[in-house]
Amino acid sequence: MTYASGPPELTEVFDLPTSNGNEQPNLSEWDQRKVDALKGTNGDPVMIHDALYGLLLDEASKVLKSNRPIRQQRSLIKAIAYAVGFKFSNGDVNELYDSLDASVAAYEPDVEPDGEFLALSQSWLLHELILIGLNLLVGMPGAGKSRFMVALVRAFLTEQPDFIGRSLLPGGDRNVLIIGTDQDRQQWGSLLAEQDLAKVLDRKTISHQEQVLYKLHPRIHLKTSGGGFRLDPDGMRFIRDWNKAHHGGITIIDSLSAVLPPGIKEGDENAGRLMRQVEVVRQGNCCIVTHHSNKQSAMAGELGVYSGSGSGTIDRAVSRFIGLGYETHRDHGVEKLHEDSPRRILTSQKRGAGNQRLVLENGNNNTWDLIGTAAEVREMQREDEEGSVEQRFKGWKKAVWDATTDDWLSTTQVFNRLEPSRAKASNAKQQVRRTLRDLITDHNVLQSQDSEEFQGEMLWRRMPSLP
């Protein structure tokens, strides 16, 4: 970094108009700021340098806070440097820009020796599952990652006290940023409307194609695949500014592969560095990034740390790893994914709490019910020992089968028909939900259908062909 032509005199730097002694030069607002900056320097080259550099920093900081693309910001900083007499190379510009940008992005300044500092205690968005931190949600395409996130957002904004059996942070006065670049407006409109997070205002048929006009929830900011969003410097700055303006909000990036900037692939270590940048720009808010699982882990039904596709640096960069996968079943002695089942296995690992493994069921209108922890489900299955062929069912299967009829009954109605001794069990409702599905998937003796009511329960009846 040098002066354009050595330490300048006042009139040389600013190209000020000269006067004949009787008239004052007519200065522009910009020239006047430069004159004011040099007052009191008395021709001292060090003081002139510091004054001009201070003016450059002030003007560059204003540029940095503008909404201009970062490439334009860098170009403007270089122009300002020339205007105050500095000959900046592109490297000088980048160094100054990065220094100023880092000071804007930093939300945890250094702590001096013997100094005091305030820090947030570890807290959970969803108890022992999703941290107020950087979370990675991994699963196969179609496993329900986006549906799970939308249901979570609805519960958060409507201040449900719990979700899938875990306490949920209230968020009625908070905001949510959904960077949903894995799907377009058509798909997001349908997903959000299903959860009453977007309302259908009008439907029109144009050129033989129906178009739907939606009104988005007032506390949601939505980006879709058609917006071209990427985790480039401009994208990172947008996320940082949004989080600074919406303390306590949630940022959802769905999915990582859809926002990778040009030149960065999932298998590169740079993908992990990118996630560490996301950790900074979340500005202390909760952030959930969805990611596709690798094929081997997905087919094995084991979605733990390092089961995401691409570089392991992605998994290492996050605070909490969450897997959402299909349950498995044995088919002719071979363990296979049960992709036709509405059940999902949710795992949560890494920092903050012990490993969690839950069995969920994704039902009508994107409801998510907790069947139980994996240990509880194993215990329920142990309790449910089958009898002889003549006896057909035993244990909970017999109790639930006896409670069903040839008419459609809701899950609660089936539960209410249980024998009192069964209904008193502490896990009776979980057993009923589990057993109803098992009677379909394992024995094909029941039918089910969605309720016509919003968020209604599933309906069940015996197969008409059965005696």
Could you read off the pLDDT of 355-398 as tens digits, one per residue?
899 999 998 889 999 988 877 776 566 555 554 433 568 889 88
In a domain, 417, yes or no: yes
In a domain, 112, yes or no: no
Task: Look at residue 130 in the predicted model and tell me its pLDDT.
Answer: 97
In a domain, 467, yes or no: no
Residues 272 and 191 in one domain: yes
Residues 166 and 194 in one domain: yes
Residues 319 and 388 in one domain: no
- Residues in Cβ contact with 67 at an 8 Å cutoff, skipping those fewer than 6 apart: none
Residues 440 and 315 in one domain: no
**What does residue 368 show for φ and ψ, rounded to 5 degrees?**
-125, 115
Percent of the chain at pLDDT above 70? 86
Tell me the whole-structure pTM to 2 decimals.
0.70
In a domain, 115, yes or no: no
In a domain, 196, yes or no: yes
Task: Look at residue 141 in the predicted model and tell me its pLDDT.
Answer: 87
* Distance from the first to the final alpha carbon of the chain: 91
Residues 400 and 270 in one domain: no
Residues 30 and 82 in one domain: yes
CA distance 39 to 37: 6
Q: Tell me the pLDDT of the chain averaged across its residues.
A: 85
pLDDT in tens, 290-300: 999 877 776 66
Residues 86 and 212 in one domain: no
Task: Look at residue 392 in the predicted model and tell me its pLDDT.
Answer: 66
* Cross-strand partners of 270: none
Task: Look at residue 92 in the predicted model and tell me its pLDDT.
Answer: 86
CA distance 263 to 27: 48
pLDDT in tens, 176-218: 999 999 999 999 999 999 999 999 999 999 888 899 999 999 9
Question: Domain boundary residue among 322, 345, 374?
Answer: 374
- Number of domains the chain contains: 3
Residues 143 and 263 in one domain: yes
Task: Look at residue 6 in the predicted model and tell me its pLDDT.
Answer: 46
Task: Look at residue 198 in the predicted model and tell me its pLDDT.
Answer: 97
Task: Look at residue 244 in the predicted model and tell me its pLDDT.
Answer: 92
Give the structural domain span for 13: 2-105
- 340 within 8 A of 175, measured Cβ to Cβ: no
For range 315-331, the mean pLDDT: 87
Task: Look at residue 110 in the predicted model and tell me its pLDDT.
Answer: 85
Q: Which of 8, 7, 6, 58 is nearest to 30 (CA)?
A: 58
Confidence band (pLDDT; 50, 70, 90) for 333? Answer: low
In a domain, 223, yes or no: yes
Percent of the chain at pLDDT above 90? 44
* Cross-strand partners of 128: none
